């Protein structure tokens, strides 16, 4: 079979928006071939942002998705298309103002994304201890492609495509469903290589601010199996197209078209597999984010493409392959929604379709399976005895053998609340769980209990959202936050002084949600213990989702379109039945 002679080339053409925040986002605009620019000019945009991404994806032989650059940015870009999201905030609230309670927590959680930006940062960036960084990203060995921009994943200086796309899809979902809530509290203004060799300076071994990086930054390319990565990008682009549908219809259409093009490559002409199986692509990334399957991402992407286009071909793919995705998922991931597993969320999303825009046969059987599964998942959070154990303080432990329990609890809270909102729209009073019945108030109280735990209602009396409340982590595992912003450059060896310091971080990483306590509810506020103190963009995305779902913003129903802050029909706007 003829090999493709073209690579996936990414180049920067300007700046754009990627994730929600009040400041300006520096997202990556790449030559990925598929997306033309938005009809908005930089000057026309309220924050002078272009939402444009030039994705010139050149594939001569479409029987193989031959070279898919694996680097955070590439996706980010793509995802940036996903862009979404938002500028979700006029950030006058940060650090003061009239917000309190959940709206204030939401404001802070969104601000964390500003602290994770890479590339050229505007002077108006609200996080004042961050500056330009990663300005030579993409210059690696024989490659000389600009990959400047995007977002650092966590407390290190690495950029991952997979988790970034996941974060964008999830955030886009919340904007589609709860745009009225975002708007009501002033947050929607503009919606719309890891190497463990310590002898070598790199993103893991070196404790250095991203602004001071001088060591080589490898670019990893995927030559064969990247189905999971492609699927999540497909979902991110499709979901973002719905976000921009009213604001910029032309741009929204182009996002959907790009998603469709990638779908064709990923499902019909590609050797399927996970990105972490490819030694040239994800083997090193797998040390931190090992993907265990790909079918859930492809089904997830197809589901969002159906919603974004109304094309039932995508719904056919999603429903015909849903069971296979369930079977491929790890048993330990049952009921858990996070970067590695989309089955639970997909079941809830397709349940919304069955309850509110039932397409009937030939999809009914799988959609019923999804609604039964969604109900079962929510019951597993609530029933006594619980499938999942709880700490004495009330934190659900969805993955007892893994760190970051708060991040898993956040998405469980989100699924519980959004599922309850779906039931509320169709006047179903609660969830039937065998011999138990849980009214909608119980679904909401479970979700609220998990968020309250994160915000300080726990045995440690610790708010795990930095900056919220009077007692929060002060030694967050984060390079930029832990090194003074004092006009001096610090080498890797000099940075170790700050890594090992007993003093609190000189820069408060406002809005970061750390990994959280262990299963015994102990918490070590120690910079060298990332299993307790490291935040991630994927984790914060889940917290944002839970917070906005729970924000109590009374909105008068308007022609049954908005119920309880949720837009009943926006997500179905492209479906003609």
150: left (phi over 0), alpha (psi -120 to 50) or beta: left
Pairing of strands 68-70, 220-222: antiparallel
The enclosing H or E element of 436 equals: strand 436-439
What distance in Å separates the CA atoms of residue 202 and residue 349, rounded to the nearest whole number?
40
Burial of 13 from C-beta contacts in 10 A (0-12 / 13-18 / 19+): middle
Per the annotation, the verdict on 477 as an active-site residue is yes
Contact 217, 140 (CB under 8 A): yes
What distance in Å separates the CA atoms of residue 189 and residue 382, rounded to the nearest whole number?
36
The 3-state DSSP class for residue 166 equals helix
Contact 296, 242 (CB under 8 A): no
The 3-state DSSP class for residue 327 equals helix
Contact 294, 274 (CB under 8 A): yes
- Pick the catalytic residue from 10, 477, 478, 488: 477
DSSP-assigned letter for residue 338: B
What distance in Å separates the CA atoms of residue 122 and residue 535, rounded to the nearest whole number?
24
**Residue whose C-alpha is closest to residue 255's, from 266, 241, 236:** 241
DSSP string covering 114-162, please? HHTB-B---TT-S-TT---B-TTTTEETTEE------B--SSSS---HH
Structure tokens at 33: 């071939």
The enclosing H or E element of 390 equals: strand 389-390
Contact 267, 204 (CB under 8 A): no
- Looking at the DSSP bridge assignments, the partners of residue 221 are 69
What distance in Å separates the CA atoms of residue 315 and residue 309, rounded to the nearest whole number?
10
Structure tokens at 417: 């609340």
The 10 Å Cβ neighbour count of residue 506 is 14
What distance in Å separates the CA atoms of residue 394 and residue 452, rounded to the nearest whole number?
10
Instruction: Report the catalytic residues.
Output: 477
């Amino acid at each position: 079979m003829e090999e493709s002679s073209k690579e996936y080339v990414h180049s920067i053409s300007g700046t754009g928006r990627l994730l929600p925040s009040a400041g300006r986002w520096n997202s990556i605009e790449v030559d990925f071939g598929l997306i033309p620019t938005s009809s908005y000019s930089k000057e026309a945009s309220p924050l002078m942002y272009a939402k444009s991404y030039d994705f010139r994806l050149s594939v001569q032989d479409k029987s193989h998705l031959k070279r898919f650059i694996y680097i955070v940015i590439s996706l980010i870009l793509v995802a940036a298309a996903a862009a979404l999201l938002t500028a979700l905030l006029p950030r006058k609230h940060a650090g003061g103002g009239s917000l309190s309670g959940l709206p204030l927590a939401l404001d802070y959680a969104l601000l964390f994304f500003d602290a994770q930006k890479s590339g050229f940062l505007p002077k108006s960036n609200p996080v004042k201890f961050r500056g330009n960084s990663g300005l030579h990203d993409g210059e690696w060995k024989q490659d000389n492609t600009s990959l400047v921009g995007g977002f650092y994943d966590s407390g290190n200086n690495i950029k991952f495509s997979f988790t970034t796309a996941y974060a964008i899809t999830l955030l886009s979902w919340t904007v589609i469903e709860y745009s009225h809530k975002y708007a009501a509290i002033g947050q929607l203004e503009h919606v719309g290589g890891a190497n463990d060799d310590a002898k070598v300076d790199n993103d893991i071994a070196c404790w250095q601010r991203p602004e001071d990086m001088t060591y080589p930054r490898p670019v990893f390319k995927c030559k064969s199996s990247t189905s999971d990565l492609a699927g999540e990008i497909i979902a991110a682009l499709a979901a973002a197209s719905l976000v921009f549908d009213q604001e910029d219809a032309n741009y929204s259409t182009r996002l959907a078209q790009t998603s469709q093009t990638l779908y064709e490559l990923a499902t019909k002409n590609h050797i399927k597999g996970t990105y972490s199986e490819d030694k040239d692509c994800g083997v090193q990334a797998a040390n931190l984010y090992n993907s265990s399957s790909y079918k859930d991402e492809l089904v997830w992407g197809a589901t969002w493409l159906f919603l974004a286009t109304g094309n039932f071909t995508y719904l056919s793919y999603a429903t015909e392959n849903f069971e296979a995705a369930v079977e491929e998922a790890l048993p330990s991931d049952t009921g858990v929604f996070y970067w590695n597993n989309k089955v639970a969320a997909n079941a809830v999303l397709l349940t919304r379709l069955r309850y509110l825009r039932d397409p009937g046969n030939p999809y009914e059987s799988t959609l019923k399976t999804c609604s039964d599964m969604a109900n079962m998942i929510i019951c597993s959070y609530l029933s006594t005895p619980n499938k999942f154990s709880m700490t004495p303080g009330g934190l659900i432990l969805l993955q007892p053998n893994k760190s970051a329990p708060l991040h898993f609890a956040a998405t469980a809270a989100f699924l519980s609340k959004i599922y309850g909102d779906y039931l509320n729209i169709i006047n179903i009073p609660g969830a039937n769980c065998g011999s138990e019945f849980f009214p909608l108030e119980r679904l909401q109280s479970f979700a609220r209990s998990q968020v309250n735990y994160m915000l300080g209602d726990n045995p440690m009396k610790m708010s795990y959202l930095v900056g919220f409340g009077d007692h929060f982590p002060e030694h967050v595992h984060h390079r930029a936050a832990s090194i003074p912003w004092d006009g001096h450059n610090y080498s890797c060896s000099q940075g170790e002084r700050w890594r090992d310091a007993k003093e609190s971080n000189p820069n408060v990483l406002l809005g970061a949600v750390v990994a959280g306590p262990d299963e015994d509810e102990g918490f070590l506020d120690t910079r060298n213990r990332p299993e307790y103190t490291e935040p991630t963009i994927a984790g914060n995305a889940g917290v944002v989702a839970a917070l906005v779902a729970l924000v109590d913003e009374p909105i008068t129903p308007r022609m049954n379109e908005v119920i309880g802050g949720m837009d009943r029909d926006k997500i179905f706007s492209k479906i003609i039945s």
